[in-house]
Each structure stands twice: as C-alpha cells, then as structure tokens.
Chains A and B, each alone.
Chain A
Amino acid sequence: MLTIIKYTFKELLYKKIFISTLLLALLYLGLYGGALYMVFQRGGTPPDLLIRASISSQLVGAGLYFSTFIVAFLTVLGSVSMVTYELETGILYGILSKPITRTEYMLGKFLGLALMLIIFSLFLIGAVLGLNLLMAGEVLYHFKLISIIKGALIYFLIPLTLLSLVFYLSTILKPLATGIVVIMNFMLGIIGGFLEQIGMVINKQELVDMGILASLFSPVDSIYRKFFSFLYDAGQSPIAILANGPFGSGHPPSIWMIFYSVGYILLFIILALRKFNKMDL
C-alpha cells in the first residue's frame, strides 16, 4: 500500500493539474496580498484600533474562505481523473494482478491524494495567515498555535469529504460526470452555508433549516465555519466577536457537525470499497 501512496503522490506532482493549481494559488495569494497591502499599509484606514481589527478579521475570513475554493478545485480535478484513468486505460490490469488487494489499492490512492491535499491546505492557510501577519501587523488577532493546529485538523475535512465523494462516484460514473456532481455538491454546501448565515442574522428559521439540510449533503461550509471558530477561539475570547461576518463564524455549527463529516467520509470510502471490490475491471 505504501508503494501505491508513494506513486499516487509522485503522479500528482508530475501531472500538470497540480502545477496549474499551484500557480492559481500563487496568483490568488498575490492578489490577496496586494489587497491587504492597500488596506493596511496605505493610510486612509480608520484609526480606531477595534475597527481596524474587525476589518482584519473580515479579511482573514475572506482569504481563508476563498482558499477553500482552490482546495476544492485541486481535490476534484486532481482526483477525478486519477481513480478512473487507471481503470479506463487498463493500467489497473498490471497493478491489481500483483499481490495487492483492491482495498489496499483504493486506500493507497486515497491516502496519497489526501496527503497531497493536506499539505496544499496547510500551505494555503499558512500563506493567508502569514500575509495577514505581514501586512496587518499588530491589529491581527493573536492566534494561538494550538487553535491553529486544532483548526487545521478540522479544515482538512473539507478536501477529505470531497475526496471520499469523488472516490465513491468514480466507481459508478464517468470522470466528467463525477466532477460535475462533486462540484455541484460543493456549491450546494457553499450556498447552503450562506442561507444559514443569512437566516440567523434576519431570524428566518426556514432559511436556517434549508442551510442545515444542504450541509448534510455537503458539509464543506459547516466545516469551514467550525474551523474559523476554532481559529478565533470563539466562545472563549471576549474579542472573538470579531470572527462574525459573511466568511466568519458568527454562528458556528455544533461539534456534531464534525462527527457527521467524519462519518460522511468513512461512509463514502466504505461504499467505494464495496463497489470496487465487486467490480469487473
């Protein structure tokens, strides 16, 4: 299985998709850094420290929020072809005639991709926070290391939920269809998240319910909000209120959402394995 993980990783590095996503990410970080520079280094911002801190946290939120789009992009495009490619080209004949079970193969692929996505996510979170530290300086909320670690662990669930869904769908659909379904599902989660936040703000329970329903299909947004609330130690720190806002965690989901997401990942992995083990290659 280690061999599969290693070569999945290698293949990702080799494939253009990884390089192009990395370029996209750098472009994004460049723009984002530029925006931060405009806001914090070029005067004209309100002198009030609290307002500046609030602006800072909004910007951190926006930066991290849009990073999830890039992570999702890499997850879907990087994995959708990976799983089905070897099946469709017949490369799998050469691999699965070796002393390795189908389960080992699938888990190896999953872990290889997961590892890459985790590293990529860490890079993005690190870069966004780093840019903020550089540009906003003392107005930036003082993140505790432990909060960042806890938050990151939760953040990883975003690519992993998407990845598990890709794995399952690619055992039953063509790559393109899988990609479309997973991206639509991702968008559903994002829209659901917004509905939920709006519903909370304007006190419309129907909207909140719709959002919660959407997050059952696609927990990405809830995971993100939970991550953000961990980052800002919501509920513990008096200035955690700063973390409110459209990209923030004014109303973070309950901790059960985390368990739900882990269950979601396991469920789709198990379904994918069951299907794959019974499949004719």
Chain B
Amino acid sequence: MIIETHKLTKQYYGSGGCQDISLSVIEGHIFGFLGPNGAGKSTFVKTLLGLLIPSGGEAKIIGQSIGDTKARKHIGYLPELFRYQDWLTGEELLKYHAQLYGLTKSEYQIRIGTILDLVGLMGKERKKVGAYSKGMQQRIGLAAALINNPTLLFLDEPTSALDPIGRKEVRDIIIELRNQGKTVFLNSHLLSEVETVCDEIAIINNGKLIMSGSWREMQLGELWLEVTIKNLSTAIIEKLDLAVLKVEKSGNDNLVIKIAGEEEVNKALKIIIDNGGTITKIETKKRSLEELFLHALTKGNNDADYN
C-alpha cells in the first residue's frame, strides 16, 4: 500500500473538512477520489501532504507518516488553486521546483525539456508564468508536479482549466504514468474523466467516505438492457418483473430492464419472446460512474452493496 489512512480526520474549527477516512491505495493504481463540491477531497489531500495539520487519525504515505518530509522527495502534487511565482519564467519555475526537490543540475536539465514537451509548453518556457493563460498555468503546474519523476502523484482537479484537447492530453499522461508503474491519486468531480482511467475509486460526501473499491468490480454485476418490442403486452412486463431486478416501461414499446449480470441477458430475452414479444432493437449498458455516483450520494451510508 502506497497510501494508507486510518480514520484520518481534518476539521476546520470543528466543522467541514473530512472525517474518519480510512482507505488504502495500491501501488501502481490510478485512484479516483470523487465527491461533490465541498465534500472534503482537497482537505484530505492537503492533510496527507502535511499542508494541513490533522485533527485525528493516522496515515502513512510511501511508508512514512505524514509530516515526514522524506517521502515527499518521491511525491508530486498539483494543488487545485494553482498559483506559482508569477515573476519567474516557465523554465525558471521548473528549475526552482527541481531544486526544492534537491535535484542536481545534471539531473534536472534534461528533465525540464522532456517535461515541457510532455505538457505542451515547449516554446513558451521563456515567458513569465504571470503572463500564461489559466490553462497554461495549469500545465506548468502539472510539469512542476512531475519534475522529480514522482512515484506517487496527487492531482487535485488537474483539468479544471483545460480545453478538451488538454483534458485528453492529461488523461494520456495519467495512463502513461500508470504504464510506468506510478501511482496517481486523482481528485475530481468530472466523472467521465475518472471513469476511463481509474482502477479504483472512492466516493466522499459531507466529509465522510461513502464507498471505495475496484471500479472494474463495481462495473461487473448490474447491467441495463434497453429493449424495443413490437406488440409489448402487460404479460411480458409482469413475467419479467418476477425474474429480473427491475423493469421500467419507457415510451410505448420500450422496456428498460435491470439484470444482475451478463448471464441473465438470455433469460430476459427468452421471457419476452416466449410471451409473444418481437424484439426489434436491443442495447446493453453497463452501469456508468455517474449512476453509481448519484446513487451513492442519494443513498448515502445505507448503501452496503459496494463496500
């Protein structure tokens, strides 16, 4: 486990923040930390990095307890409110951050070029950071977080200021980092973004952890079938209702059927055909992260399905 927390709590004057968060992150995984605005995502990350003093609980990252500066040599962090020394140029800024990591000149010189290229700022490195656009500032922030070639990377809303191309680029960088065996802890509320890259997710609301686990396993199981049926009868619906998790009529000849897994597709279709339905169109949908997210947030702590 590269991150392990036990009942980690950080409250601001007794309220807000995050409470009793216990989770662990496996090395080499991309971990999506989700939650609505004000859920406590940034608070959690800042506490892990020693920027906030925890009000309770424990945590270890890269084997060191938080507040220990040694582990930070291998950590990269892109804060959510990225502001950098605006009087430095992009290149100088990266140099400064490299030196803060204790890198030597020979170590950072080549690295700076590579990183500038990676985040798409090549050719703009001699411009003052203060004159960068918001998206460019976020890019240079990402570059600063990557300058030490970190084993563990914290990204707090890394694409909030980026255009669609930029978002895709960041996603590709994240996937590339995973291929190199790095761990990425990604704070986000852009679900579609998390969905495609994350190995594991945790959802937090009102400062409390609601669920966490492997995203692939969560996706297994439930499946939605959207079936268009000629001569749809009440008999079909009644029979299905007994056999599957949920049936809903949508429109005149459409059924939305929730089943427990792929192995039940046949069973559901057989019921329709056996009862005189003619299927004209069929679509299967896996559970989307958005559904899971909304479901988790509305059901809150009572949802035991995915713990």
Q: How far is the CB of B9 from chain A (nearest CB, A)?
A: 13
Q: Is A142 an interface residue (CB 8 A)?
A: no
What does the 1/0 interface line of A96-119 toward B look like (CB < 8 Å)?
111111000000000000000000
Residue contact B50 to A96, C-beta cutoff 8 Å: yes
B-chain residues with CB within 8 Å of residue A95 when the two chains form the complex: 100
B-chain residues with CB within 8 Å of residue A92 when the two chains form the complex: 51
Residue contact A96 to B79, C-beta cutoff 8 Å: no
Q: Is A91 an interface residue (CB 8 A)?
A: yes
- Could you tell me the distance between the alpha carbons of A278 and B51 in the complex, rounded to whole angstroms? 10
Give residues 1-45 of A contacting B (CB, 8 Å).
3, 7, 11, 14-15
Q: Is A217 an interface residue (CB 8 A)?
A: no
B-chain residues with CB within 8 Å of residue A97 when the two chains form the complex: 49-51, 72, 75, 77, 79
A4 nearest CB neighbor, chain B only: B100
Q: Is B278 an interface residue (CB 8 A)?
A: no
Q: Is A280 an interface residue (CB 8 A)?
A: yes
Which residue of the partner chain, among A14, A89, A99, A101, contacts B102 with CB atoms under 8 Å?
Answer: A99
B99 nearest CB neighbor, chain A only: A3
- Could you tell me the distance between the alpha carbons of A75 and B101 in the complex, rounded to whole angstroms? 29
Which residue of the partner chain, among B77, B99, B102, contacts A93 with CB atoms under 8 Å?
Answer: B77
Q: Is B219 an interface residue (CB 8 A)?
A: no
Q: How far is the CB of B94 from chain A (nearest CB, A)?
A: 11
Residue contact B12 to A280, C-beta cutoff 8 Å: yes
- Could you tell me the distance between the alpha carbons of A95 and B98 in the complex, rounded to whole angstroms? 11
Q: Is A94 an interface residue (CB 8 A)?
A: yes
A95 nearest CB neighbor, chain B only: B100
- Could you tell me the distance between the alpha carbons of A32 and B81 in the complex, rounded to whole angstroms? 48
Q: How far is the CB of B295 from chain A (nearest CB, A)?
A: 33
Residue contact B46 to A98, C-beta cutoff 8 Å: no
Residue contact B85 to A281, C-beta cutoff 8 Å: no
Q: Assuming the A-B contacts A93-B46, A281-B51, are A98 and B72 also in contact, with contact meaning beta carbons closer than 8 angstroms in the complex? A: yes
Residue contact A90 to B81, C-beta cutoff 8 Å: yes
A-chain residues with CB within 8 Å of residue B73 when the two chains form the complex: 99
- Could you tell me the distance between the alpha carbons of A164 and B185 in the complex, rounded to whole angstroms? 39
Residue contact B85 to A91, C-beta cutoff 8 Å: yes
Residue contact B100 to A100, C-beta cutoff 8 Å: yes
Q: Is B144 an interface residue (CB 8 A)?
A: yes
Which residue of the partner chain, among A3, A93, A96, contacts B96 with CB atoms under 8 Å?
Answer: A3
What would be 20 A-B contacts, judged by CB atoms less than 8 Å apart? A3-B99, A15-B87, A90-B79, A90-B81, A91-B84, A92-B51, A93-B46, A93-B81, A94-B82, A94-B144, A97-B49, A98-B97, A98-B101, A99-B69, A99-B70, A99-B101, A99-B102, A280-B12, A280-B53, A281-B52
Q: Assuming the A-B contacts A3-B96, A101-B69, A281-B46, are A96 and B85 also in contact, with contact meaning beta carbons closer than 8 angstroms in the complex? A: no
Residues of A in contact with B (beta carbons under 8 Å apart): 3, 7, 11, 14-15, 89-101, 278-281
Residue contact A89 to B69, C-beta cutoff 8 Å: no
- Could you tell me the distance between the alpha carbons of A99 and B72 in the complex, rounded to whole angstroms? 5
Residue contact A94 to B52, C-beta cutoff 8 Å: no
Residue contact B99 to A96, C-beta cutoff 8 Å: no
Residues of B in contact with A (beta carbons under 8 Å apart): 12, 46, 49-53, 69-70, 72-73, 75, 77, 79, 81-85, 87, 96-97, 99-102, 141, 144
A-chain residues with CB within 8 Å of residue B84 when the two chains form the complex: 91, 94
The 5 closest A-B pairs by CB, nearest first: A93-B79, A98-B100, A97-B77, A3-B99, A99-B72
A-chain residues with CB within 8 Å of residue B52 when the two chains form the complex: 280-281
- Could you tell me the distance between the alpha carbons of A95 and B144 in the complex, rounded to whole angstroms? 10
A15 nearest CB neighbor, chain B only: B87
- Could you tell me the distance between the alpha carbons of A171 and B85 in the complex, rounded to whole angstroms? 20
Q: How far is the CB of A86 from chain B (nearest CB, A)?
A: 8
Q: How far is the CB of B210 from chain A (nearest CB, A)?
A: 25
Q: How far is the CB of A258 from chain B (nearest CB, A)?
A: 36
A-chain residues with CB within 8 Å of residue B82 when the two chains form the complex: 90, 94
Which residue of the partner chain, among B53, B79, B96, B102, contacts A278 with CB atoms under 8 Å?
Answer: B53
A-chain residues with CB within 8 Å of residue B69 when the two chains form the complex: 99-101
- Could you tell me the distance between the alpha carbons of A95 and B85 in the complex, rounded to whole angstroms? 10
B-chain residues with CB within 8 Å of residue A90 when the two chains form the complex: 79, 81-83
A-chain residues with CB within 8 Å of residue B50 when the two chains form the complex: 96-97
- Could you tell me the distance between the alpha carbons of A34 and B76 in the complex, rounded to whole angstroms? 57
Which one of B52, B72, B73, B83 has the greatest number of beta carbons of chain A within 10 Å?
B83
Residue contact B141 to A94, C-beta cutoff 8 Å: yes
Residue contact B100 to A3, C-beta cutoff 8 Å: yes
Given contacts A94-B79, A97-B77, 8 further A-B contacts (CB under 8 A): A7-B85, A7-B96, A15-B87, A90-B81, A91-B83, A95-B100, A97-B79, A280-B53
Which one of A14, A94, A96 has the greatest number of beta carbons of chain B within 10 Å?
A94
A-chain residues with CB within 8 Å of residue B79 when the two chains form the complex: 90, 93-94, 97
A3 nearest CB neighbor, chain B only: B99
A-chain residues with CB within 8 Å of residue B101 when the two chains form the complex: 98-99
